[in-house]
Amino acid sequence: MMEERCRRFLAVRTEAIMKRRGLSRPEAEREAFSHLVVEFLNLTHPNADPARCAQCGGPGSQNDVLLPIGVGARHTWLHGHCWESWRARRRAEVEKELAQFGIVKPVELEAAS
Ligand SMILES: [Zn+2]
């Protein structure tokens, strides 16, 4: 089950980061969370129509070419200027999905006093 896999990933990764990098648990948990988001993004990377931008739906043109963003054999095609917003949207979608499992992004640490 996906939720269990995510929790196991976080637990294992947090321990590994603490051990390897000597970080505190809250720091390691934040790091592990961002690794989980990347794993999830890679796992769900869409294979999209090469003739359309996955963000705005527009076609490529000579002055505004579509660039392939790939993971393995799967590619998504985007205008250079659409990439940032596409990535932000995908990241938000993944974080929303994880939140449904009760896995939320650890809050930023307070500045040490
Ligand atoms: Zn576009």
Confidence of residue 36 (pLDDT cuts 50, 70, 90): very high
* Residue 17 or residue 113, greater confidence: 17
CA atoms within 13 A on the CB side of 10: 23
CA 81 / ligand 1 centre spacing (Å): 7
CB-proximal residues (5 Å) to ion ligand 1? 53, 55-56, 79, 82
Among the listed residues 49, 52, 46, 99, the one whose alpha carbon sits nearest the alpha carbon of residue 74: 46
- Please tell me the predicted confidence (pLDDT) of residue 109: 62
Instruction: Select from 99, 97, 55 the least CA-distant residue to 80.
Output: 55
pLDDT category, 107, cuts 50, 70, 90?
confident
Give me ligand 1 centre to Cα 77, in Å.
9
User: What is d(CA 75, CA 12) in angstroms, rounded to the nearest whole number?
Assistant: 30
What is the separation of C-alpha 24 from the centre of its chain, rounded to a whole number of angstroms? 23
pLDDT at 53 over 60: yes
Mean pLDDT in residue range 42-49: 93
What are the pLDDT digits (tens) for 21-35?
Answer: 999 999 999 999 999
**Taking the model in full, what pTM does it have?**
0.84
Residue 90: what pLDDT? 96
Percentage of the chain with pLDDT > 90?
Answer: 87
Q: How far apart are CA 12 and CA 93, in angstroms?
A: 24
Q: Nearest to residue 42, comparing CAs of 76, 11, 13?
A: 76
- pLDDT category of residue 2 using cuts at 50, 70 and 90: confident
